[in-house]
Amino acid sequence: MGLVASSKIRRATEAMVKSREYVASVQSVIERLASSRECMRSPYMQVRSSELSRTRIIVIAGDRGLAGGYNANIFRFTAAYAGAQFIPIGKRACDKFGEGILSAEHCTAADISTLSHRLCAEFASGEFDRLGIISTRYVSMLSQEPFIQWLLPLTKADGVPSSGTILFEPDEIDILNAAVPTYVTGLIVGAVRESFTSEVAARRTAMDSAGKNAAEMIDRLQLQYNRARQGAITQEITEIVAGAGN
Amino acid sequence: MNTFRLKISTPDGNVFDGQTAKLDLRGVGGELAVMAGHIPFMTAVKPGVCRVMDGDGSVRRGSSDGGLLNVSADGTTLLVGCFTWDE
């Protein structure tokens, strides 16, 4: 299992890097649009309430266990948002929170695009007030941490360079409204790829330490076995010698 | 034919990154085409077909689920959720 995880790490890291590039490009465009005054009227920029009952949170966990504390850390983190409506991605998350996208490893951008278009339409029509994602940040091979990021409503970023002489067709607000589902898709895909990389890294670390523990245990048991065997032989010889002496 | 750099980017990586003579697609304001020397421009793209013409005149067709088109002096970027070539 450790070997399988090792071979998956390279592919997972490549996918994560590609999605990060995409997220950075979409984010810079959205920030530029969101900083314009006209876009303040967009339904995606309306801050309504932060009540948990009107909050939806996408939870990304693994498809399998035996990945150290990977799944447990995510579920512990979700406890702080009890009362929100959870949308699970990954088999373990679906087992806990109900229907969702079953596989975090094999879900495609098209699956996520369908989900994000639906969520954006529901957000715009006022069915819920906040959308977040709980996923795992890949810090290094040895360290991964769960965190939450809020996708909707969009927040106005400070210090964004002005649009200069860019021509917007038809205007900023229409572009923003049409581009938000793409932005949400990008962020969810980015979070899924990063979480999967964290999962395989956590699994490899867990399997490595399990392998080391097993090797130590084998050494200790081998020593016990040899002692017991030696003790039994010594006792038998003592008995034979004692018997011969009589 | 003059060419410009086009990048079609999806969350799973770049589907296309190279020199192009013309890009045809459907924006929110209607059908549009981008050619070399276009002014800095941004629009939202509707789901549907888009055509990429190479410098030698050959055309490739693909479909996207909609997204953003950003034309700048550094090049043209089409950011979409998913994209597939029709072939």
Identify the residue among B39, B82, B83, B84 best suited for mutation to test binding to A, counting A beta carbons within 10 A and taking the highest.
B82
| A188: nearest Cα among A62, A82, A44, A87 | A87
Contact B43 A168 (CB under 8 A): yes
**Range A167-183 average pLDDT:** 84
Q: Give the tens place of pLDDT for each residue, A107-160.
A: 888 888 888 999 999 998 888 889 999 999 888 888 888 899 998 888 877 666
Q: B39 to chain A nearest CA, in Å?
A: 8
- pLDDT band per the 50, 70, 90 thresholds, residue A162: low
* A chain contacts of residue B6, beta-carbon cutoff 8 Å: none
What sign does the dihedral B20-B77-A189-A111 (CA atoms) show? Answer: negative
CB contact under 8 A, A193 and B11: yes
Give chain B positions within 8 Å (CB) of A44. Answer: none
Closest alpha carbon within chain A to B77: A25
Average pLDDT over residues A2-27: 85
Chain B positions with Cβ closer than 8 Å to A: 9-14, 27-29, 32, 39-46, 65-68, 70, 72, 77, 79-82
The pLDDT value given to residue A49: 79
Distance CA B34, CA A142 (A): 47
- What's the domain count of chain B? 1
Phi-psi region of A217 (alpha: psi -120 to 50; beta: other; left: phi over 0): alpha
| Res A160: pLDDT | 63
- Residues A63-73 have pLDDT tens digits of 888 888 888 88
Which band of pLDDT confidence, cut at 50, 70 and 90, is reported for residue B78? very high
CA distances from A114 to A133, B35, B84 (A): 16, 31, 16
Cα dist from A85 to A44, A125, A147, whole Å? 19, 17, 17
Domain boundaries, position B48: 4-85
What does the pLDDT look like over B38-49, one tens digit per residue? 888 889 898 899
Beta carbons within 8 Å of A55's beta carbon, 6+ residues apart: A81, A84, A85, A128, A129, A130, A131, A132
- Using alpha carbons only, what angle is made at residue B57 by residues B56 and B62, rounded to the nearest 5 degrees? 120
Q: Which CATH class is domain A2-207?
A: alpha beta
- Residue of chain A minimizing CA distance to B41: A167
When pLDDT is averaged across residues A231-244 and rounded to a whole number, the result is 92
Distance of CA B22 to the CA centre of its chain: 8
pTM: 0.85
Of B12, B32, B44, the CB nearest to A179: B44
Q: What pLDDT is recorded for position A240?
A: 92
